[in-house]
Each structure stands twice: as C-alpha cells, then as structure tokens.
Structure 1
Amino acid sequence: MAERFFLYDDTEETKTRFVSFMGENTRFDLAITQTDRHYGKSLVLDMQGSRFAIIGQDDLDEEGYLEHAFQLSEEDAAELRSFLFELL
C-alpha cells in the first residue's frame, strides 16, 4: 500500500451550537460550529437538508448565497439570514 499523502491533519477546539426553529414554511435544524480555521467564519450545517456552508457576515450580505448553498426559496432564505445575522 502506498504511503498516504496528507494535505493537512489538524485537531482544533471548536464551539458548536445546535438549534432548531420553525420558520413560516420550513423547519430549520442547524449545527453551527465556530472555529479559527475559516478566518472567523462559521460552519453552518443543515442537518435535515444534508447541506452545509462556511458563512460569515459578508456572505449574509451576498445576494442569493443562502438560497444557493441551502437550496432555499427567497422567503425561507430570508428567515435563515435573519437568524444568522443575530448569531454571527
């Protein structure tokens, strides 16, 4: 067997918040992990939709980012954006 070539193999302390809330049309079940790894951005995992994105304040301002990353309607993305603005 050939020697494994690692690009990186790091261990880091993280802070993870698990939160579930009901929007107007959809339920959000999220795991939000804060780490120093991604330049101060958070790793947001949608546990029901099996999707994730690395999100910072600048990403919340980018039109269509949440819609694309989480495959959401504009209305559902607006609810998620509002929640994440309070958190991030």
Structure 2
Amino acid sequence: MSERFFLYDDTVETKTRFVSFMGENSRFDLAIVRSDRYYGKHLVLNLLSSRFAIIGEDDLNEPGYIEHAYGLDENEANELREFLYEIV
C-alpha cells in the first residue's frame, strides 16, 4: 500500500454551540462551530438535513447563498439568516 499524502492534518481548539429553534416555516437543529480555521467565519451544520456551510456576515449578505447551501426555500432561508445575523 502506498503512503498517504496529507495536504494538511491539524488539530485546533473549537467552541461549539448546539441550538434548536422552531421558525414560522421550519425547525432548525444546528451545530455552530467556531475556530480560527476559517478566518473568523463559523462552520454551521444543519443536523436535520446533514448540510453545512462556512458562514460569515458577507455570506449572509450574498443573495441565494443560504438557500443553496441548505436547500431551503426563501422563507425558510430568511428565518435561518435572521438567526445567524445574531451570532456572526
């Protein structure tokens, strides 16, 4: 077997917040991971849909980003976006 070639193999300290909330249209169960790894952005995992994205304020302002990243319709994405604005 050939030797594995790593592009990187780092261990970093993280702070993880687990939050669940019910919006008008959907339920959200999220794991929000904060570290120095992503230039101040958060790794936001939707535990119900198994989708995730690296999100900063610039991403929240990008039209269609949340909809695409999490497979949400406009109303659901707006609920998630409103919540994420509070933490990023």
Partner AA of 1:68 in structure 2: H
Structure-2 separation of matches of 1:66 and 1:34: 18
| 2:2 corresponds to 1:2 | yes
Distance 1:10 1:82 in 2: 32
**For each residue in 1:28-60, what CA deviation from the matched residue of structure 2 results, as whole angstroms up to 9, or x when unmatched?**
000000011111100000000010000000000
Q: Identical aligned pairs, as a percentage?
A: 70
Partners of 1:72 and 1:3 lie apart in 2 by 41
Point out 4+ residue stretches in structure 1 off by more than 6 angstroms.
none
TM-score scaled by length of structure 1: 0.98
Any gaps of 5 or more consecutive residues in structure 2? none
Q: State the Cα distance separating 1:7 from its structure 2 match.
A: 0.3
Calculate the TM-score normalised by the size of structure 2. Answer: 0.98
Aligned match of 1:14 = 14
